[in-house]
Structure 1
């Protein structure tokens, strides 16, 4: 039987890692490319603030070809969709019919992805969709994955939170209302070891910085959909 040629939307974090692991266990699919959006102004992974060098080291350790979608610092929806269309069209021309995401329960985001990809004749799949997030995190750790927190919303967390490695005590110490997987954007991680890696990724912890952002008043024209917000970042050095 011919396997379904799939590319994976790779964020560098734990949910992507676990979803990719699930997909690699499914004999119906072959994952031939990892696709990641990068902030071209800072040369870092979008949202996560991870250095591009660590992204490259990570995908090399996984052993799957990777490609980057370079975006400006605060892309309008029009620019975002233009860049995505350009990249996805290339992938379709190379024989890809499916694409996978690590999303868990954000219905609006899934609907948006499916609608946009459907226009190009591509099908979106979600390997860990609707799984209990506490169970997912425990599964992630039980499988031997390791991940470190690279950024966190200052609404819930202080400077001390970023730069910590997630362990079994993590869930019990989360503030009330924070999802165990940070599915609502409360925090993001960098996965540096686990069963999908040929070897762990080496890094050291650098500076921790706080940045505050203000989105355009015309929210409908921006990929990000919140008002002013603050983020703590932990720089990881290759």
Structure 2
């Protein structure tokens, strides 16, 4: 039986004054209706924090892709019940996209188009992302969105990674590493809370925000939450993805476009809701 470590004790009780409240503003009717592409991790949390402070936009939904077979957040491996707990604490409805295991680009894009078309019928025409500096990814997103009549919004774009992670920590956010790519990091990094010690331990070739797919996180406390997400850390597992025979298959599972991406595996830390 795996040992479980509770993270109730990491709740930042002194941060109550920083809790973010969405106020009813007189100009809410003129705000642009938007959805937020929510990964459950730190970049999403910081980008959401910033867009919620921007009166030009009103976030109607958190949109998250979930592995249909395992019912976990794509790539991050986080269980759906923890995702739902985040949505409830943030106070924004959740919209889940069910994605097959290792989908082709055609399948993924069809699901996305169907979902966004449904949301567009509700007057939503903006899609917000937590991307930082991957130019090709942004170009792809914007091209796909334009086909459906959406516009992309990138609140933390081109802000230096070191500045972002320090701002994230100083705001009182708490996040745990749930997945690492063994191409960049070993097993010892998964399951760790991101703090200054974690940052100091990162190899020089690893972006401190993991923007190149080096690691992924689950954010469980901070100013966008009405209450922290209680969980315990379970077993750490290793998984290696088979290279798809269909060259049109999505590389989303490995979150990289490098030709040798499938030569490397991933370490995951399972999180269990309390």
Measured against the shorter chain, the TM-score band is: over 0.9
Q: Matched residue of 1:227: which SS? A: helix
Cα deviation 1:111-153 (Å, max 9, x = unaligned) = 0000000011110000000000010000000000000000001
Tell me what 1:175 maps to.
Answer: 203
CA distance in 2, matches of 1:104, 1:62: 22
Instruction: Give structure 2 stretches of 5+ with no counterpart.
Output: 1-26
Match of 2:108 among 69, 80, 85: 80
Higher relative contact order (CA 8 A, sep 6+): 2
Name the CA distance, whole Å, in 1 between partners of 2:186 and 2:212.
17
- Structure (1 or 2) with the larger CA radius of gyration: 2
TM-score of the aligned structures, taking structure 1 as reference length: 0.97
Identify which of 52, 55, 60 aligns with 2:88. 60
Where does the alignment leave 5 or more consecutive residues of structure 1 unmatched?
A: none
Q: Quote the offset at 1:211 in angstroms.
A: 0.6
SS of 1:136's partner is helix
Give the number of aligned pairs.
238
- Could you tell me which residue of structure 1 aligns to residue 15 of structure 2? none
The answer to whether structure 1 residue 160 and structure 2 residue 174 are counterparts is no
> 1:219-234, aligned counterparts within 5 Å?
219-224=247-252, 225=257, 226-234=261-269
- Compute the displacement of 1:158 (Å): 2.1
Q: Distance in 2 between matches of 1:157 and 1:186?
A: 7
In 2, Cα distance between the equivalents of 1:54 and 1:99?
Answer: 23
Between the aligned partners of 2:146 and 2:124, the Cα distance in structure 1 is 13
Aligned match of 2:146 in 118, 139, 142?
118
Q: TM-score, normalised by structure 2?
A: 0.85
Partner Cα distance (2:128, 2:173) in 1: 20
SS in structure 1 of the partner of residue 70 of structure 2: coil
* Equivalent of 1:203 in 231, 234, 248: 231
- Between 1:215-224 and 1:227-236, the stretch displaced more is 215-224
**CA-based RMSD:** 1.1
Partner of 1:146: 174
